[in-house]
Amino acid sequence: MFLDTRVLRYLTAEDWRVLTAVEMGSKNHELVPTPLIERIARLKGGASGVHKSIATLAKSGLIGRMKEAKYDGYRLTYGGLDYLALHTHSSKDVVYSVGSRVGVGKESDIMIVADKTGKQKILKIHRLGRISFRTVKSNRDYLRNRQGGSWMYLSRLAAMKEYAFMQALQEEGFPVPEPISQSRHTIVMSLVESLPLRQVSSVPDPASLYAELIDLILRLAKHGLIHGDFNEFNILIKEERTSKYTIEDGEEKETETVTLVPVIIDFPQMVSMDHVNAEMYFDRDVECIKRFFKKRFHFVPTQPGPFFNDAKKTVGKDGAKRLDGTVEASGFTKKMLKELEKAIQEQQARIDAGEAVEEEELDEDEDEEDDGGSDSEDEENEEDQEDQQEEEEYAVFEIPANVGRPLSDAEKGLEKLSLGGKGGKRRV
């Protein structure tokens, strides 16, 4: 889904109240009755003011109607939920401007944003249900339970879970982006200057990097956690430069050393070491790293493992704090976890079975929506497809062999490669 923020600045306080009223009414209604919207919004202008704001919001695609509905009402769209989340981040002075989309996944969009000082950050928008399935409309019983019946609700749960894990992991010293703010289905986090591991074609010492990644898997296990999706797409590689000054022949000389540091991202699928399928998730994470290093770097470890049973024995040892319990204490309950896991597993199972159809909404929103607020939908879908094709044309980078050893003066500042044949430059 394309995030269009052009209308954001033109919404009035009354429009925001009405949009919030639709969101509140959505907790108990798939289609919020117009009289209920009026009662919740409580505008000074009365019903006429509410209807004026409804017209503005519907025209902008932030709320929508449903064809053949038994009563007059509106539902909140993903665009409306995006705006409410951005409005909250803006009111906290976390986000001031929104830039381009820098990443697209089957379950999220990644945007560049900035605060008032111009400091760039990352906005992650969870979109469970972006990829839907041909058979889901006849097999979605688990979506009919209370709020769990909404992909928006499940997207909120995914954001809540990821933010809670990021906070807990950062406090324990794990290499993760800094979590800054969470609202509804969105997370604002620090921008890490790095490259995804999938874009790295070679490294000076594959064995050392492999050992670091396996150590991260074991460290997570020691704290009671399994990432669940530990692969080249969810591992970033950044450079850390350190300078050392020495005196030679009476002159001060600077020696700079570059070290590769892995950073972990994407935590909605993280599970406890006590999970019923913990061993499967643990083994899958290990196998993903082994398979990638063999294929990309032609590196095969000489020792087998690590094994789940051995990692299980280390949980909570040496004073390691169990983070699975910490996240539950933060408000993300076991019931929420089960709802989210069931949705993600159902989605992944159908993707694996080849039943996925991209860019369809599960709730029949596209079929049931009337013309109000959806006139530009086809154009937006075309833009999304073009954007995605552009983003898939990424280059594969080679980490210079001087990484991990001091750089000579002649080598400094020369490690730049063009991206995707488009003439752009990026430091690696």
Active site residues: 229
Q: Which two structure tokens, joined as six digits, stand for 398?
A: 């080679």
Other beta carbons less than 10 A from residue 56's beta carbon: 20
Give strand ranges (E) for 217-293: 225-226, 235-248, 251-264, 271-272
Tokens 């935590």 sit on residue: 267
DSSP lists the bridge partners of residue 407 as 256
- Inter-axis angle of helices 13-25 and 34-41, to 10 degrees? 120
Q: Of 177, 182, 135, which Cα lies nearest the Cα of 155?
A: 182
Instruction: Give the dihedral of Cα atoms 395, 388, 232, 131; nearest 10 deg.
Output: -170
Q: How many CA atoms lie within 13 A of 31 on its CB side?
A: 16
Residues 142, 343 contacting (CB under 8 angstroms): yes
Rounded to whole angstroms, the Cα distance separating 144 from 77 reads 18
In angstroms, how far is the first alpha carbon of the chain from the final one? 30
Tokens 């390691």 sit on residue: 320
Work out whether strand 186-190 and strand 356-358 pair parallel, antiparallel, or are unpaired.
unpaired
